[in-house]
Structure 1
Amino acid sequence: MASPQIIADTEYLPTLLKLLDRAEKTIDIMEYSFAIGSATGRLNRNSAPFEIADKLIEIKESLGKKIRIRLYIEGYRETASRNMVTAEYLKEHGIEVVYGATHAKGFCIDNKFLLFGSTNLTQQSILKNHETNLLLNDKKAIAGFNKYFEFHWKGGGHGGVILPPPMIADGVFKDVLVDMIDRAEKSLNFSIYFFHISEIEKAFIRAHKRKVKITGLIHHHDAFALSYVRRTRGTAERMNDAGIKDLHYGPGTLFTHSKFLVMDNKEVMLGTGNWLHEDVEVHPQLYIHLKDPTLATNLTKHLQKTLRTVKRHRKEYTDSISI
């Protein structure tokens, strides 16, 4: 199997549409947020999410009973009202829908391809955010995603399933992250949206004391979910005070929504869970852990490129670049 392909930022939409065009038998989708319109039901037909919905409908109408398209979608948290508008629209066109609890995001096509990572199906996430996904044809990864999907499709909940490697279900990702950080010898590179787990924070500080080079991109804004933002800033400030200086805030006007860690340019953890106790203990998540030096090196280069972009736009934003 070739190394997974990194699908970042605005690459997501054209990549996904091309993948969907290849579908012949099955499309299984897990999404936290899929918004083709407002919570009141007003559709935005000129949006990227609507383009995806229309593509799914086009495929179903073209192939009919030859293809099964299933959507497992968040039905409880704050995104649920917009999700319902999308889900009911898709159901009208023959697409199967189950509502549940999930923060996972991914498309599995014909059990051959898996597009998985941080991108929600919203206009903001698809066209504006810093997002990072992987496109894989790894049979083991696909088997893990399928097991997770079927478990939730049949009514399963958080913490109820153990996945075969390289996939990691729910809060287990915390222990894997801590282990990777504690095994690092040379470098740790990461990007995260919200971060407030003391075990991960302390592991980074231990690594710094071992002279491991640590570089991080961390999100911040002043618009909403401010308790999470303040907790994340507190983590970044404590790490900075401990001597970890190569930490950077992304611009508040563009969400830094990626969630990944690269260890020694040898191993990668990438997924959907924020580094928050809530995302470990309550909200269903999905991560992948790969020992793949090529992917690890490419993901480090991707982070460096993103940081250069942030720095080039420094004058455009009022946000501070460094912690």
Structure 2
Amino acid sequence: MIRALNRCVAGLVAVVFLAARPVPVLGSPAQATLLADASYAGVLKERIRGAKRRIICAFYLFKATDRKGNLPAGIAQDLAQARARGVEVTVILEGEDSVGRDNRAAAGFLARKGVRVVFPRGRRTTHAKAVVIDDRFVMIGSHNLSHAALSRNRELSVLLDAPPLAAQVTRYLEGIR
């Protein structure tokens, strides 16, 4: 009886493991760059400034302030400048909880500059932190757009040069409504 129970549990664990396995997303190897701690902001700004066609991103928190040297405010400016030069820019932000007020302030600035801002409906929290630029570059990880996250916190993200992954992340982000 115990052996039969052990085999049953082992079979169940195998089924759960197989169902939980990640689905391969890359058709070819990706060029990856680790973005630890404060290195994220400079790379994000550089990629936004170099964007030619499209930027789509999602953040749980986008806390731009009027304080001198505020890194998220600089990123908001870069997104607005990208839009002004003809880049399609979409920013997806969480609208509820304690971050909603900060996000709405950033959204107001961005929307006035022609950036499309989306606050998803429904009860699901948008906790993703992802950027796709020109259907090629993907930045994904733990960084929110707050001055602390971009300058002091222990954060870890990655920049991938991977068009197949960019397409999948874009589809995912476009599905957040």
- Short-chain TM bin: 0.7 to 0.9
Pairing 1:75–2:98 present:
no
Unmatched segments (≥5 aa) in structure 1:
38-42, 156-323
Tell me the secondary structure at the aligned position of residue 135 of structure 2: coil
Partner AA of 1:57 in structure 2: A
Which residue of structure 2 lines up, in the alignment, with residue 261 of structure 1?
Answer: none
Partner AA of 2:108 in structure 1: E
Which residue of structure 2 lines up, in the alignment, with residue 140 of structure 1?
Answer: 164
Relative contact order (C-alpha < 8 Å, sep 6+): which is higher? 2
Q: Does the 8 Å contact 2:93/2:126 carry over to 1?
A: yes
TM-score (norm 1): 0.43
Tell me the secondary structure at the aligned position of residue 111 of structure 1: coil
Q: Give 2:62's match in structure 1, choosing from 34, 41, 62.
A: 34
How far did 1:139 drift? 2.6
How far did 1:143 drift? 2.0
Tell me the secondary structure at the aligned position of residue 78 of structure 1: helix
Q: Give 1:20's match in structure 2, choosing from 48, 60, 77.
A: 48
Pairing 1:126–2:146 present:
no
Pairing 1:48–2:48 present:
no
Distance in structure 2 (CA, Å) of the matches to 1:81 and 1:45: 20
Partner AA of 1:49 in structure 2: P
Which residue of structure 2 lines up, in the alignment, with residue 115 of structure 1?
Answer: 139
Pairing 1:94–2:114 present:
yes
Unmatched segments (≥5 aa) in structure 2:
1-28
Distance in structure 2 (CA, Å) of the matches to 1:92 and 1:21: 19
Distance in structure 1 (CA, Å) of the matches to 2:40 and 2:145: 10
How far did 1:3 drift? 4.0
Tell me the secondary structure at the aligned position of residue 71 of structure 1: strand
**Identical columns (%):** 27
Partner AA of 2:100 in structure 1: A
Distance in structure 1 (CA, Å) of the matches to 2:163 and 2:56: 15
Q: Does the 8 Å contact 1:45/1:51 carry over to 2?
A: no
Partner AA of 1:99 in structure 2: F
How far did 1:112 drift? 0.9
Distance in structure 2 (CA, Å) of the matches to 1:31 and 1:11: 17
| Number of aligned residues | 145
Q: Does the 8 Å contact 2:34/2:157 carry over to 1?
A: yes
Any idea what the Cα deviations from partners look like across 1:4-38, whole Å, max 9, x if unmatched? 1111101111111111121011010101000013x
Distance in structure 2 (CA, Å) of the matches to 1:36 and 1:67: 21
How far did 1:2 drift? 4.3
Root mean square deviation, CA, Å: 1.3
How far did 1:130 drift? 0.8
Q: Does the 8 Å contact 1:36/1:45 carry over to 2?
A: no
